Amino acid sequence: MRFTSEQRHDDGVLARDFSLGDIPGTLWTPRTTPAPLILMAHNNGLPRSDARLVARARYTAGVHGYAVASVDGPGSGDRPGPAAVERAGADLRRAMQAGEPVDEILETLVGALVDAAVPDWTATVDALLRLPEIDGPVGFTGWAALGIRLAVAEPRIAALGLFAGGHVPRAQREHARQVTVPLLLLLQWDDEGNPRQRALDLFDAFGSTEKTLHANRGGHLGTPAFELEDTCRFLDRHLR
């Protein structure tokens, strides 16, 4: 792992970009370390530079004292995607322009994105946990499809805070039955792109004995600001 830039913010959070092989990422660390690690990912592989993710990361580090990391997987940010991602992305754009159904294309696209991303995130956890400023355990927040796969594949993940606002392929819905760590699932009740019943069925599928569903009225981008604080309190209960 090689750090390529750093910036100390007024709240004491240190933001550092890094590269791990061809994996680009950002690590936000609080003023006081060592700290538990939170992996943070946007739905469907949106880049780590997105302003909403950066704001969540800085709050989680600055107010709650976690180290927060995010990476751009293949097909995210400036990284080219594998052939399956590029083909499915082109198919999705064509179908949307033609007004055609997209569910089956999303199955392929999101599945390919998750398949490509999981090894990068696992390698990143390996590297980050060697740093003196990070002291496990590890939590994950954000992208549900990725979080499910990581929780199954990565025993170091001790808690999941997921957003039910992205497409979760059938394979990940089946994998959810193998997830047993504590879970907080956020649902926007009127999310225009993600059927409510599908999210409720996903919540029911998780094998976790401790799982909580927070549902709020509003569309995809209407998650209330207080849910970030509630997610951090959930992480506090299970990672501290």
Residue 191 belongs to domain with CATH number? 3.40.50.1820
Percent of the chain's residues with pLDDT above 70: 100
Name the residue range of residue 179's domain.
2-77+114-239
63 lies in some domain = yes
93 lies in some domain = no
Q: Which residues contact 119 (CB under 8 A, 6 or more apart)?
A: none
98 lies in some domain = no
Q: Which residue has the tokens 């594949």?
A: 153
Using one digit for the tens of pLDDT, what is the confidence trace for 98-137?
Answer: 999 898 999 999 999 999 999 999 999 999 999 999 997 9
* pLDDT at residue 44 greater than cutoff 80: no
User: DSSP of 168-179, one letter per residue?
Assistant: --HHHHHHGGG-
113 burial level (CB within 10 Å; 0-12, 13-18, 19+): buried
What pLDDT shows up at residue 188? 95
Rounded mean pLDDT, 42-71: 93
* pLDDT at residue 152 greater than cutoff 80: yes
The Cα–Cα gap between 218 and 222 comes to: 5
89 lies in some domain = no
What pLDDT shows up at residue 59? 97
Rounded mean pLDDT, 51-62: 96
* pLDDT at residue 190 greater than cutoff 90: yes
